[in-house]
Structures are given as C-alpha cells and as structure tokens.
C-alpha cells in the first residue's frame, strides 16, 4: 500500500503536499523505496521517521498490529497521521490514538478511502434527502480466497490478521455510515488453522430498528456488493463495494435507474487531498471520516470478534 499511495500522491502532483521522507525497518528498503519514488530523505527505523522535524504528516501502512505503536510515536512528535484501515487492532488502541492526537492537537484520520469516492457521496445524499424513505436493511458482503500462508499478515494473529480487519471493516464502516453506531451486534464465524477469522456473518441493529446483515469470507469467492433497502425503494452499490462506481436505484415499482460515478486512478487520491486540505486549513479531523465514528467502528469489530471467540495477543 505504501507504494500505491506514493504513486498516487506523485500522480496528483502532490496535491499541495510533498512526499518528503520514507521510513522502513531497514535502511536498504527505505533507500530502495526512496529511489523508486524520488523521495529525498530516508530513515532506517520508524522511530527516526517520527523524529524527522521536516515531516508534517505520516501515512502509516504497516500491518494492523503496528498501527497504534507507529501512530502514537508520530503523534508524540507533533505529526499528523493518516492511518491505514483497520485503524487499530481494537477500540482500546484506537482510543489511545485519538486521545493522544487530541491532546497534541495534531491531525488524525483512518484511511477509509471508500468514504471519499463519488459513488459513496451519492449514496449519502440519496439517504439524507429521503429518496429511499425510512432505512430498514443494509445487506451485503463478499469473499476472496487467498493462498494460505501462516506467515503473511493476513493470517497471522500477532499482526492483526483475519478477514474482519482486512475486508469486513469496509462493510462495518458502510453500515456505520448508514445506520450509526449499532445498539446490538451478533456474529457467527469460522477461525482457520492459524487462529484468525476466515469467514463470518454479522448482524447489526441500528437506529429506528434498521438492521444490517453482512458477510465476509476468505473461503469462498464473491465480488463484494451492498444493497440498501428503505421503505420507499432500494439502492444497490455494485461490487467492489470498497471502490464502487455503479449505483442502481429502484423506487417502488419503477424501473431501476443506473448511475455511473467514475473514480480517477486507483481511487486513493481523494483521501490524500482531504488530508492535505485539512492540514492547510488547520483542521484536526475530517468530517467525512470523523474520529468518534472510527472509534465506534472499532467497538463494533471488538464485539464481532468476541462473538467469534477471536482474541489477539495484544487484546
Ligand atoms: N486501502 C486499501 O485498499 C488497502 C489495501 C491493502 C492493504 N491495506 C492496509 O494497509 C496496511 C498495509 O497493508 P500491506 O498489504 O501494504 O502490508 P504489507 O505489505 O504486509 O506490509 C507493509 C509493510 O509493513 C512493514 N512491516 C513492519 N513490520 C512488519 C512485519 N512484522 N511483517 C511484515 N511487514 C512489516 C514492512 O515495511 P518495511 O520492511 O519497509 O518496514 C512492510 O513492507 C494494512 O493495514 C492493510 O489492511 C489497505
């Protein structure tokens, strides 16, 4: 992801920001990355990057178990942070990150890039203006089947592996955006041989009795999509739901209306523009992905993991 984001930022002409330094666990990897993307300064440890006084904001793309430690080091040195999803392993870590950022008065945001895409902005406005009527159900999910590798971060419980934190977070986040913080969370799932969750179904109870039924899997393939059902109609968000471009609106018995919402490039640019603008304007968080909602999403995922019996060593 670090390479993808570096390329995207370069493609944007920086969007007002300069890719100034890179940090890696090894000096050689930092130098190779810097050469690839034309970056002037390299650091052979994350601590050294956090100490670099010429850096304003750090994008964190380490495995999930390291997000809190890495973010707290940067925040302690007065740096803003854009932290990859999942923002942290659990709500406790996330609340420490948020508390530190608020105390230090630095910018902090979960890199939930999907929120910044045009199709999701259109979903929000169709829900907000009442087109769908009373929101009743959010239904969706998908799966992919990676080759099992106990050493890869996706399957390693010590690094925050599992399908919930990797892919389920997108669905939980969308349900949160649509239904608010759930008042009830239920889940059933399967842990794989390395001890992380390989699939689950999740039921959430939202405001006004609305519900979400979500699923994710590392054991079966299906492009992830989502349908939002209201009393006046339904809206289908075509796969992939983390980078959607096509919406289909069906109002009562009327014919479905398809709308296209193209995404430029990989789709990560909009969140980078948001971070840059926030820093230029002195804002400490984004109204599109607010920190209180990130905390609520982590609390929901903690409850899902409790249902599955999945505890990380750091929990
Ligand atoms: N937004 C998206 O679409 C998207 C897509 C994929 C992943 N992600 C998220 O981005 C983050 C990074 O994912 P990724 O796939 O880029 O991760 P990755 O390739 O597995 O690891 C990224 C880097 O983390 C560093 N690292 C530090 N400690 C490590 C350890 N113990 N094991 C392995 N790597 C370690 C390594 O960099 P150095 O060796 O240079 O220190 C490594 O190159 C995750 O939170 C993931 O969920 C987001």
What digits encode the pLDDT tens for the residues 18-41? 999 999 999 999 999 999 999 999
- Percent of the chain's residues with pLDDT above 70: 99
Angle made by CA atoms 167, 180, 278, in degrees to the nearest 5: 75
Query: pLDDT of 199-238, one tens digit each?
Result: 999 999 998 999 999 999 999 999 999 999 999 999 999 9
Rounded Cα gap, residues 48 and 2, in angstroms: 17
Rounded Cα gap, residues 257 and 260, in angstroms: 10
CB 272 within 8 A of CB 5: yes
Rounded Cα gap, residues 160 and 66, in angstroms: 9
What structural domains and CATH numbers belong to the chain? 2-112 (3.40.50.720), 118-262 (3.30.360.10)
Which residues are near ligand 1 (CB < 6 Å)?
Answer: 1, 24-26, 29, 61-64, 66, 84-85, 111, 113, 153, 159, 166
pTM score: 0.97
Closest ligand 1 atom, residue 60 Cα? 11
Rounded Cα gap, residues 109 and 279, in angstroms: 11
| Segments of the chain scoring below 50 in pLDDT | none
How far is residue 37 from each of residues 50, 153, 310, measured CA to CA in Å? 20, 25, 39
* Nearest C-alpha neighbor of 199 from the set 223, 170, 166: 166
Interval between CA 60 and ligand 1 midpoint (Å): 9
Structure tokens at 185: 């969370």
Burial of residue 238 (number of CB atoms within 10 Å: 0-12, 13-18, 19+):
middle
């Amino acid at each position: 992801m670090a390479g993808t984001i570096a390329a995207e930022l370069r493609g944007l002409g920086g969007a007002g920001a300069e890719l100034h330094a890179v940090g890696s666990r090894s000096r050689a990897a930092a130098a190779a990355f810097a050469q690839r993307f034309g970056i002037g300064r390299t650091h052979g440890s994350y601590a050294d990057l956090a100490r670099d006084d010429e850096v304003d904001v750090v994008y964190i793309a380490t495995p999930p178990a390291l997000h809190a430690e890495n973010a707290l080091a940067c925040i302690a040195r007065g740096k803003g942070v854009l932290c990859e999803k999942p923002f942290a392993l659990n709500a406790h870590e996330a609340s420490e990150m948020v508390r530190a950022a608020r105390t230090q008065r630095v910018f902090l945001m979960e890199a939930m890039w999907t929120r910044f895409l045009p199709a999701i902005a259109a979903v929000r406005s169709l829900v907000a203006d009442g087109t769908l009527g009373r929101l009743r159900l959010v239904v969706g999910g998908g799966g992919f089947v990676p080759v099992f590798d106990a050493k890869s971060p996706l399957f390693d419980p010590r690094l925050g592996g599992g399908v919930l934190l990797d892919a389920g977070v997108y669905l939980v986040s969308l349900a949160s955006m649509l239904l608010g913080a759930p008042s009830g969370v239920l889940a059933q799932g399967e842990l794989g041989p390395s001890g992380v969750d390989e699939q689950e179904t999740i039921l959430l109870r939202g405001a006004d009795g609305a519900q979400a039924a979500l699923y994710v899997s590392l054991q079966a393939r299906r492009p992830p999509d989502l349908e939002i059902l209201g009393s006046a109609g339904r809206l289908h968000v075509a796969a992939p739901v983390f980078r959607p471009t096509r919406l289909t609106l069906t109002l009562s018995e009327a014919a479905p209306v398809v709308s296209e919402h193209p995404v430029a490039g990989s789709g990560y640019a909009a969140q980078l523009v948001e971070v840059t603008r926030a820093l230029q304007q002195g804002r400490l968080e984004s109204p599109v992905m607010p920190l209180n909602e990130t905390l609520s999403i982590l609390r929901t995922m903690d409850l899902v993991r409790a249902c599955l019996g999945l505890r990380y060593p750091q929990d």
